[in-house]
Amino acid sequence: MVAHKVAGAPVDYVALRDELAVPGDFAYPVLADAERAVADVRLPDEDASDIAFVTVDPAGSRDLDQAVHIAADGDGYLVSYAIADVAAFVRPGLPVDDEAQRRGETLYFPDKRVPLHPPSLSEGAASLLPGELRPAVLWQMRLGPDGEVTRFDVRRARVRSRAQLDYATLQTQLNAGSAPPAVALLEEVGTRRMALALRRNAINLDLPEQEVVADGGHRWTLALRKPLPVESWNAEISLLTGMCAAQLMLRAGTGILRTVPEPSADAVATLRRAASALGIDWPHGASPGAVLAHVDRGDARHVAFIEHAASLLRGAAYTAFDGEPPAERMHAGVGGAYAHVTAPLRRLVDRFGSEICLAAQSGTPVPQWVRDRLPQLPQTMADADRRAHEIDRAVIDTTEAWLLCDRVGETFSVTVVDADPHAATVVVDEPAIRARCTGDRLQVGQVIRATLAEADVAKRHVRFEAQ
């Protein structure tokens, strides 16, 4: 049966969490262990609180994993990057650790977060909140004038963030030349790192994000959000750190990499054919990443091309090793070896990666609890990623069906972004919905009229029929 809206009623994400068996509130032993950890935490001996760090996150965030400071260093740059030291609070084998192993990563719903760690840690004592002295894993990376790494190190230190910035505010400040000194050079370094990524043949899709947003009341709608430039520049600092981490792991012979195999020749050839069909120029000798860097993300046909390019980045995995470095060590999206170490409040694997890097840098043995868990960690993270993707898709699908369930029979203007002989994937501009559309001989990039045939909230299913 097709569900119908009750006037004024919101989408029921509580029921969706129940249906998907999402973890609920933390049990008392986990909360008690977290409180004990907060009371017993010891700050590192090294004091780096003189570095005027700032955090850069989505507005309203409380789980602040990273704080950044960029300074001129001769004709290059010194990037200092402080990462929340979750291992300073979480003891192996105790309740917080056991629960984190079960959860794997923070899960996101429009109306709430389901955190990896209890809020007293993730939004409190371990978070790099402004004005608070915190234990951190401190990366310092010296870059040449082109943004290439010349040397780096990592160690534990106590830090204090000076300000919590959100993307929109920082973008405005950078545009006006009034950004805090800690991030005044973010655009300069970010664009240099992005240029290096193109030289590495990195593949950056950078698609507008389909996201659920509040409509001003207690209800929700869907919108396509194009990332601000500052988000890409800020992401480059995290990618820079992850690449340095991978170097340390490979040098030490122990680690866990985030890997994506290089695209096959067939996949690239298929994308070339799509570019030709869509009228997108592919210069001789250009890599897929170079072509993607120059498409117009405001053009429906170019967006369809980027949708096709997602096929180049299949096969993402976590690759653990302890001894011989793995044969597969490439992350095609990054264009090199890469490891997750910059989001330990929200992702389990980063705590392990940081401990391996600290040991490698100092020449000390990797903690035994890390080595013991390393073989199982790829499967733990694969399960967590699969659940996160399932939840993200279910949230979008539920919201799409809810927004359209009382509009069955209406006709919409839609853009075809993928097609086979008898059906296609289409996108609607307002609200920002993507769905299946039945019809013969539909062409990628084509704008057509389509009738909404189904919108079933219970099944999380929407289908159009081409006119």
pLDDT at 14 over 70: yes
Q: Are residues 333 and 368 in the same domain?
A: yes
Question: Do residues 134 and 225 both lie within one domain?
Answer: yes
In a domain, residue 223? The reply is yes
- Alpha carbon distance 389, 316 (integer Å): 13
303 has a pLDDT exceeding 90: no
Confidence of residue 216 (pLDDT cuts 50, 70, 90): low
Average the pLDDT over 31-56 and give the result. 98
For residue range 426-456, what is the model confidence (pLDDT) as tens digits? 888 788 888 999 999 888 888 899 999 999 9
Which of 279, 310, 341 delimits the end of a domain?
310
pLDDT of residue 77: 98
What integer is the mean pLDDT of 94-116? 96
For the stretch 375-421, pLDDT in tens is 999 999 999 999 999 999 999 999 999 999 999 999 999 988 888 88
pLDDT at 430: 80
Confidence of residue 298 (pLDDT cuts 50, 70, 90): confident
Query: CA 175 to CA 46: how far, in whole Å?
Result: 36
Closest CA to 293 of 302, 284, 285: 302
Same domain, 178 and 155: yes
**281, 153: one domain:** no
Q: Does some domain include residue 136?
A: yes
Q: Does some domain include residue 6? A: no
* pLDDT band (50, 70, 90) for residue 217: low
Q: What CATH number does residue 418 fall under?
A: 2.40.50.140
> For the purposes of burial, counting CB atoms within 10 Å of the CB of 359, is it exposed (0-12), middle (13-18) or buried (19 or more)?
middle
What's the per-residue H, E or C state across 236-258? HHHHHHHHHHHHHHHHHCEEEEE
* pLDDT of 314 above 70: yes
Considering the domain boundaries, does residue 181 fall inside one?
yes
196 shares a domain with 344: yes
Domain contains 34? yes
Nearest to 353 by CA among 379, 317, 319: 319
User: Do residues 117 and 193 both lie within one domain?
Assistant: yes
Asked if 90 and 200 sit in the same domain, the reply is yes
Whole-structure pTM value: 0.93
User: 280 and 226, same structural domain?
Assistant: no
Do 396 and 430 share a domain, yes or no?
no
Task: Select from 381, 401, 421 the last residue of a domain.
Answer: 401
pLDDT of residue 218: 55
**Are 270 and 256 part of one and the same domain?**
no
Mark which of 370, 401, 432 sits at the end of a domain: 401
Is 368 a member of any domain? yes
- Which single residue is written with the structure tokens 């545009």? 175
Same domain, 192 and 295: no
Q: Is residue 7 in some structural domain?
A: no
Which range of residues forms the domain containing residue 437? 407-466
Is the domain of 304 the same as that of 429? no
Is residue 275 domain-resident? yes
Q: How many residues does the chain have?
A: 467
Q: How many domains does the chain have?
A: 3
What pLDDT score was predicted for residue 215? 73
Per-residue pLDDT, 7: 41
Work out the pLDDT band at 1, boundaries 50, 70, 90: very low
Please tell me the predicted confidence (pLDDT) of residue 2. Answer: 42
pLDDT digits (tens, 9 = 90+) for 153-187: 999 999 999 999 999 999 999 999 999 999 999 99
Higher pLDDT, 4 or 116: 116
